[in-house]
Amino acid sequence: MKISTLGFACIFSLCLLSCTQEKPSDALEDPFYDQQLQSMVDKAVGYLGKIAIDSTAIPRSLQKDGSLYGTGSRDWTSGFYPGQLWQLYEYSQKEELMQAVAQWTAFIEKEKYDTHTHDLGFKVFCSFGQGYRLTQNEAYKEVILQTAATLIKRYHEKVGCIRSWDFNREVWQFPVIIDNMMNLEMLFAATRMSGDSTYYNIAYQHALTTLKNHIREDHSSYHVIDYDTLSGEIRLRQTHQGFSDASSWARGQAWNLYGFSMAYRETGDERFLEHAKGLAQFFYTHPRLPEDLIPYWDFDAPHIPNEPRDASAAAIATCGLLMLCDWVPEEKKQYLSWADKSLAVLSSPTYQSTHAPFLLKHSVGSIPDSSEVDVPIVYADYYYIEALMKRNAMAKLAQK
């Protein structure tokens, strides 16, 4: 079905730099964002010669011996490294970054046909989506549209969601994870690109179903909801990568905040905004959030303060806060204060990585799986750069 207007979806554009600001009294000095981005550009350019451009070793994390943990394009993290290079190219216009990122991005194209994952937004929209935004390359657009068409094959009308995982079929019938909110952004964009409202409608319904079933009264979320495919009813509520089913896994809450802030931007549905506001309060005023605002891997982890921190959760949540800034004027100063403090800490020596090609250290993949604990992880870098880019644009608008 074709549509001529998209209502609020057009009002709230895809632009990643949409917020404006009034500078709070405790904000970082405006040059900080420029200085930090330039530092990240210099670091990224310096790293280019230290890692081979290799389709089988797309940067993801570090091995226990400190060597690069790289993956093929099928891995859910494969789009983040080219995505961060696109953002740093946008800031710097350095030709070395353009040449490298075009090659890394090309490795991801075959994922446009992968029907076995919900993570196509992470893989393709973080890479080709960033590339298309900056270059308007029609070939990139076609990759995005094919990927969106592939992703919606996982949508189930009775459930009202896109299926997340295919493993553990002996346990789950139709699992949906909070992370899946992030993959909706590509579907909203596909409707704008194509005029076909199917993508928008599926993304909107997935967000509504997630809001209804994943979210607790305090605005935190479960990680996994498993549905009965015949009735559409909930079978299980779990937190697969957190401390317990009832706990608040930090990265899950960050996906939650970013995902619903983005869903409000795309739809204008006030229910998404009200939830995102409540979740921001939950996250940043939680009694077990450290003073420096970098959360432990789970807000309910049993050995706090002797638990690993998760820089990736801090970076993702900061992006969500910055999306909220224009829509909640009465909280803007507080949101900016939290965002500035998070970015200052992530930009400090405590969190800056010196292992090529990573920018941040001290992230957590999955403690229950003993996987990627207290190491650099590529998606932390991606969202850290996104947050710096957003905040830098806001600071420059405030100076006009």
Residues with catalytic roles: 119, 179
3-state SS class at 289: coil
CB-CB contact of 385 with 312 (8 Å): no
Name 68's bridge partners: 62
- Listing DSSP states for 323-368 in one string gives HHTTT-GGGHHHHHHHHHHHHHHHTSTTTB--STT-SB--EEEETT
Tokens of 146: 């094919």
Q: Is the peptide bond before 357 cis (omega within 30 degrees of 0)?
A: yes
SS3 call for 52: coil
| Cβ 317 vs Cβ 258: under 8 Å | yes
Q: Which of 183, 180, 176, 182 is nearest to 147 (CA)?
A: 183
- Nearest in space to 145 (alpha carbons), one of 184, 111, 191, 106: 191
Of 396, 293, 400, 399, give the one whose Cα is nearest residue 17.
Answer: 396
Closest CA to 69 of 78, 60, 79: 60
Q: 2 pairs with which residues across the strands?
A: 196
